[in-house]
Structure 1
Amino acid sequence: MELTIGFIGCFFLVLFITAGVPLAFGIGLVAIIGNSILVGFTQTGIQIYQITFQTTTEFVMTSIPLFIFMGQLVSEGRLGKDLYECVYKWLGRIPGGLAVTSVVSCASFGALTGISSAGISTMGPIAMREMRRYGYAEGLAAGSLASASTLAILIPPSVPFIVYGIWTDTSIGQLFMAGVVPGIILTLVFCAYVIVLCIWKPELGPVAARFALLDRLLSLVRLSPLMLVFTIMIVGLYQGWFTPAEGAAVGCTAVMLILLVMGRLNWASLAHSARASAQLSIMIFMIVITVQLFTRFLVLTDVPGYLIALIGDAGLNRYIVLLIIIIMYLILGMMLDSLGMMLLTLPFVFPIILHLGFDAVWFGVILTLMVEIGLLTPPVGMNCYILNKVSPETSLGTIFKGVLPFVFLTLAMVGVFVAFPDLVLWLPRQMFS
């Protein structure tokens, strides 16, 4: 009986999502009604109180609004422009140099923000204007920029890694370190693709202006504050000087001091950063709370246990099951927002992953890569819509066509990281041994 109620609840959840009900409300409604049927309304009310209190008072959860706030400050303080100009002066002269600059800038910007939307919002207007000025193909320009912006959630700090670590009780520090090597590799793969394409067809990405060595060296000086913040956070986490939550506070303080010294911090930008951070943080907390309530409903109905037994009885190879899960995420990424997709599926998928003997840290990276793809694929493709908003001259159709090669490249790298998991796990094992 309980199992039947569980699957009925899952059916209605899918129905709500396809009907366009906001994810937190859809999950919350199913969880509240399902738990009320199984344990009573009073006990469900107690669960809601307990989950809300535990989530909002858990120390590590404070890192989410702090990292978001830091990303907003970096964006408001125009530090992204300094970063782009520096990379542009060093890489603009190679084939497809401006597109390569976009990739490297977005990856570097992600190392400070952990939010892909901040990267595309900041870099979009600057990079698209420059690439359009030099006659770059719209598809290559938009595709490289939108795709590179997703690297922000793979290179630490990463908000999805924090949420995944909290929900699965996995070390956030190890997740951060596990994202470094895949993030660098994917950045290099994107750059290599652009360079090879522009060598083959130079008209797609003409070379940009040449800058004197002195200008390039001076651009590094302007970039030094960003490099200092990133170094402090990575070294601090590695040395154990602070936890991820404390690291987020250190990062916020460092960025605010840098902007204050540079004369780029005022009350208006501070208020706007705080407001935007609060809105995004509330959405994340709402989803986390309702998913935890939904997880309790699933535990009561034993749906995860039933699925594990079903897979065990089927006798499938564990890599076949993993392939099915990856295909599922590819499809869900076309319909759900990134964080919602992650949290909604983890109650089902994570027990199966552990049962099959896969590493939790490694799977966190694989899942984040699938989230990256979901940020690019239509009809949701959030980063494509953001780029269209900040650069309305480029049509959505052109953007979606432009990101397609990068989606295939990311999928190929998922295959590489599945075949060679040590590429993901080597660094966290070395640093946390």
Structure 2
Amino acid sequence: MSGELVGLIGLAVLFVLLVIRVPVALAMFSVGFAGIWALRDLKAAMSLMASESFTLASSAELVVVPLFILMGNVASVTGMSGRLYDAAYAIVGRFRGGLASATVLGCAGFAALSGSSVASALTMGKVSMAEMDRFNYDNRLSTGVVAAGGTLGILIPPSTGFVIYAILTQQSIGRLFLAGVLPGILLLSMFIATITILCWLRPGFGPAGPRTTMGEKTKKLVGALPVLSVVILTIGGIYAGIFSPVEASAVGAGLIIVIGAATGKLTPRTFWTAAKDSVVTTAAVMLILISAHILNPFLALTHIPDLVGTFLEGLQVGPLTVLALILLTYLVLGCFLEGFAMLVLTMPIYFPVITQLGIDPIWFGVLVVLTLEMGLISPPVGVNVFIVKSVARDVPLARIFAGVTPFWFAMLATLIALIAFPQITLILPNTMMN
């Protein structure tokens, strides 16, 4: 049996395993290990498993994953993320759709703490949906804005998606973090514009909330100041060259813990909860990365990446057309597969093609991560939609998907803008890290 045929069988089995909800790490590990065993021998598969596990587990760069996750979890259990929402609501809550806009701003702030879309959607859903229900917001808007706002967690740095992309492609985590800033702000602006348009067309979707005095605004902003200071210090330190991403993650997690302890909100019990959740999430991410590094050599042995590259080059179309075809593939796969699964599954195939065509890998990384975000709210999988459903159990799933649809198109418009104007993505990394 040829390597190409073994590879195609392996990919088909992997796709089936993912569709039937086998955990991503287990599915990739099983296919990669069995494939190397079939193409080489058991000894080679065992040796690769041991070496890749040790190499990744001892990688200093991956320290950013548990530390940024811990920072977000501590901010959640101590109520700091809720204060971000309160500050945003105090400023824009009195406008029509203001609670929804405040939710998006709160999601952006929490995303800058946790780097996790699922955590952002879950946390902000618990904080904001009850308030929007209290002010008679249409549940399509309230659930849609939480699901869509949560996707900012994978784009606004520090982003777990960028870290995994950097590990898989050997790119700079710092440059990717810088590259995600302006696209993240653009997407945030597009979401707020979408809310404004929806509430202008249908005023009943988002009634105006009560006015707040200047004193109340100041009080809420002061309450959010400690957590905002941590975000500015950690992310700003990376941009200014004071910290490496690893150092910034340690500084951020340490400061959040100190603030939580100083305010009395972080008790041994809440810290244990945050630490336990961080360990579980980190273990899941590490297993995915280890499995990806076992699957990738299998795909290389099958020569499937070379065949895909040859096919795309043989189309005799420009680099932008190839890029559009690749992103279209992600959009289609996003309807069925989880984002990280797509990233680790496709990057060994597509990244060599991208480099051969001379497409900037940092720009490509931002485009891919944004496309993965779209998958988080695309039916039938839509991970963030199901997270919101777990919070709003009385809202039918069809209404949640209807609510996220306008935001999906806002993300598509943002993606088109980033393709048309690459400088939006590249201006910060090219000017601040060269």
TM-score w.r.t. structure 1 length? 0.97
Write the distance in 2 (CA, Å) between the matches of 1:400 and 1:314: 36
**How big is the shift at 1:50?**
0.7
Write the distance in 2 (CA, Å) between the matches of 1:106 and 1:20: 28
**How big is the shift at 1:45?**
1.1
Q: Which residue of 2 aligns with 1:266?
A: 267
SS in 1 for 2:412: helix
Call closer, same or farther: CA 1:216–1:303 in 2, change over 3 Å.
same
Question: What is the alpha-carbon root mean square deviation over aligned residues?
Answer: 1.3
Write the distance in 1 (CA, Å) between the matches of 2:427 and 2:250: 28
Write the distance in 2 (CA, Å) between the matches of 1:371 and 1:307: 21
**How big is the shift at 1:425?**
0.5
String of CA shifts for 1:372-426, please: whole Å, max 9, x gaps: 1111112221111111212223222211110011011101111111111111111
Task: Tell me, yes or no, if the aligned pair for 2:19 and 2:337 is still in contact at 8 Å.
Answer: no
**How big is the shift at 1:196?**
2.4
SS in 1 for 2:180: helix
Q: Are residues 1:340 and 2:341 paired?
A: yes
Call closer, same or farther: CA 1:193–1:15 in 2, change over 3 Å.
closer
SS in 2 for 1:173: helix
Q: Are residues 1:62 and 2:63 paired?
A: yes
SS in 1 for 2:212: coil
Which amino acid is the alignment partner of residue 250 of structure 2? A
**How big is the shift at 1:298?**
1.5
Q: Which residue of 1 aligns with 2:4?
A: 3
Of residues 393-402 and 94-103 in structure 1, the stretch that sits farther from structure 2 once superposed is 393-402
**How big is the shift at 1:125?**
2.3
Of residues 379-388 and 235-244 in structure 1, the stretch that sits farther from structure 2 once superposed is 235-244
Which amino acid is the alignment partner of residue 433 of structure 2? F
Q: Which residue of 2 aligns with 1:401?
A: 402
Write the distance in 2 (CA, Å) between the matches of 1:15 and 1:254: 44
Task: Tell me, yes or no, if the aligned pair for 1:75 and 1:118 is still in contact at 8 Å.
Answer: no
Write the distance in 1 (CA, Å) between the matches of 2:70 and 2:410: 31
Instruction: Extract unaligned runs of 5+ from structure 1.
Output: none
Call closer, same or farther: CA 1:242–1:200 in 2, change over 3 Å.
same
Q: Which residue of 2 aligns with 1:152?
A: 153
Q: Which residue of 2 aligns with 1:358?
A: 359
Which amino acid is the alignment partner of residue 227 of structure 2? L
SS in 1 for 2:95: coil
Q: Identity over aligned residues, as a percent?
A: 36
Q: Which residue of 1 aligns with 2:247?
A: 246
TM-score w.r.t. structure 2 length? 0.97
Write the distance in 2 (CA, Å) between the matches of 1:5 and 1:81: 51
Write the distance in 1 (CA, Å) between the matches of 2:23 and 2:225: 42
Write the distance in 2 (CA, Å) between the matches of 1:178 and 1:372: 16
**How big is the shift at 1:9?**
2.0
Q: Which residue of 2 aligns with 1:212?
A: 213
Which amino acid is the alignment partner of residue 206 of structure 1? P
Instruction: Extract unaligned runs of 5+ from structure 2.
Output: none
Q: Which residue of 2 aligns with 1:376?
A: 377
Write the distance in 2 (CA, Å) between the matches of 1:402 and 1:109: 21
Q: Which residue of 2 aligns with 1:202?
A: 203
Which amino acid is the alignment partner of residue 371 of structure 2? M
Q: Which residue of 2 aligns with 1:284?
A: 285
Write the distance in 1 (CA, Å) between the matches of 2:4 and 2:380: 33
Write the distance in 1 (CA, Å) between the matches of 2:21 and 2:163: 27
**How big is the shift at 1:103?**
0.9
**How big is the shift at 1:307?**
1.3
Q: Which residue of 2 aligns with 1:229?
A: 230
SS in 1 for 2:171: coil
String of CA shifts for 1:4-58, please: whole Å, max 9, x gaps: 3222322222232233322222211121121122222112211111100000000
Write the distance in 1 (CA, Å) between the matches of 2:275 and 2:54: 23
Call closer, same or farther: CA 1:19–1:217 in 2, change over 3 Å.
closer
Within a 5 Å distance, the mapping from 1:295-306 to structure 2 comes to: 295-306=296-307
Call closer, same or farther: CA 1:318–1:93 in 2, change over 3 Å.
same
Task: Tell me, yes or no, if the aligned pair for 2:309 and 2:350 is still in contact at 8 Å.
Answer: no
String of CA shifts for 1:258-290, please: whole Å, max 9, x gaps: 111111001111111111111111111111111
Q: Which residue of 2 aligns with 1:331?
A: 332
Within a 5 Å distance, the mapping from 1:64-83 to structure 2 comes to: 64-83=65-84
String of CA shifts for 1:95-147, please: whole Å, max 9, x gaps: 21111111111111111110112212221122111111111111111111210
Write the distance in 2 (CA, Å) between the matches of 1:361 and 1:337: 22
Write the distance in 1 (CA, Å) between the matches of 2:380 and 2:81: 28
String of CA shifts for 1:281-340, please: whole Å, max 9, x gaps: 111111111111111112222211121112222213322222221221112112222211
Aligned residues: 433
Write the distance in 1 (CA, Å) between the matches of 2:117 and 2:185: 16
Write the distance in 1 (CA, Å) between the matches of 2:271 and 2:325: 45
**How big is the shift at 1:346?**
0.7
Task: Tell me, yes or no, if the aligned pair for 2:143 and 2:392 is still in contact at 8 Å.
Answer: no
Task: Tell me, yes or no, if the aligned pair for 2:117 and 2:384 is still in contact at 8 Å.
Answer: yes
**How big is the shift at 1:75?**
0.8
Q: Which residue of 1 aligns with 2:120?
A: 119
